[in-house]
Structure 1
């Protein structure tokens, strides 16, 4: 969600990449401004990410996913972290694509160097861990790549990836675009 230039404290900065105020309110009973006011009154700027999220789940009965989204949005709005920055201070981006192909073919696009070269440029991919049919991690482009394969039927798979340990916000922006393009190429390749 991006605030309009006329809203309080905005200067057009991005609050969160995931939820609009309307979706947040429909799902949690409060919009961003109400959550921010509640967390400010609780003293959240002096708390850790874990403490804020735990307060939302344990004390305010917010679902875990929404609690994380609210916590990240709050931290970004209050300048405790930038968009793309984790609570530990490192930089990361993510992407996903649903592909009309079974898990095994999607997985091979990462584990088979010949297939990987057809959609992912560069030779700096180094496999670290691999749980067949589920996940893998690799060193890639100076960062760490974590990939999850979620079957959506016999011949359909959601490929979700996180690229962590990036250098800075500029790298986050560049890799966000990069992974959107690369996952589109992967989809085209595997759906032939």
Structure 2
């Protein structure tokens, strides 16, 4: 099941990072007239006027849009949908990314791009149905490397669950192989 942004945005963490909780940000943005603003304007306001870090500004913006502008969970600003799942794999960063790349390539063919030297190494595929899939390796933790698989440009909300199920299956397959 695809979750609302608020389900993954901890109110206490938000308050510690920004000085306000979810409901306080929603109320403040309503007072400033943000219901009529687009995504970029809301995020820019949060960064430039309110002094919020860009990462938190994006989260606050998506939460506000879902609560007050009708944005559906997983919906991007262009109207398409995306779904992402992260799994920590018991391997070094590039080894974990390579294992995921092998599994995705076996199912979807060769990637169209890769940047293994990036701050967050990434491999990307353009799929035959017009969607995109990317694998991104996060910084290593004591338990391994979190790797995110993201499917983008899905045409509607109904397609998200099937895409999520495929991503979970791919990550499970890799976890059994490297674990």
Per the normalisation by structure 2, the TM-score is 0.82
Deviation at 1:96, TM superposition (A): 1.3
User: Is the contact between residue 52 and residue 71 of structure 1 (CA under 8 Å) also seen in structure 2?
Assistant: yes
1:76 to 63, 66, 69: 66
User: d(CA) in 2 for partners of 1:177 and 1:16?
Assistant: 21
Partner of 1:23: 13
Gap regions ≥5 residues in structure 1: 1-12
Partner of 2:167: 179
Q: Secondary structure at the match of 2:112?
A: strand
How many pairs were matched up? 173
Q: Which is richer in helix?
A: 2
Residue 54 of structure 2 is aligned to residue 64 of structure 1:
yes
User: Is the contact between residue 126 and residue 140 of structure 1 (CA under 8 Å) also seen in structure 2?
Assistant: no
Q: Deviations over 1:21-51 (max 9, x none)?
A: 3332333222222111111111112111111
1:135 to 122, 126, 140: 122
Q: Secondary structure at the match of 2:75?
A: coil
Per the normalisation by structure 1, the TM-score is 0.77
1:52 to 27, 42, 51: 42
User: d(CA) in 2 for partners of 1:177 and 1:123?
Assistant: 14
Q: Secondary structure at the match of 1:127?
A: coil
Q: Deviations over 1:93-132 (max 9, x none)?
A: 11112211234433333444xxx2xxx5974344110223
Which structure carries more relative contact order (alpha carbon 8 Å, separation 6+)?
A: 2
Partner of 1:86: 76
Partner of 1:35: 25
User: Could you say if the C-alpha distance between residues 20 and 104 of structure 1 is closer, same or farther in structure 2, counting changes exceeding 3 Å?
Assistant: closer
Residue 134 of structure 2 is aligned to residue 146 of structure 1:
yes
Q: Secondary structure at the match of 1:82?
A: coil
Computing the radius of gyration from Cα coordinates, the structure with the larger value is: 1
After alignment, is 143-152 or 133-142 more displaced? 133-142
User: Is the contact between residue 16 and residue 83 of structure 1 (CA under 8 Å) also seen in structure 2?
Assistant: no
Partner of 1:96: 86
Q: Secondary structure at the match of 1:70?
A: helix
User: d(CA) in 2 for partners of 1:176 and 1:90?
Assistant: 15
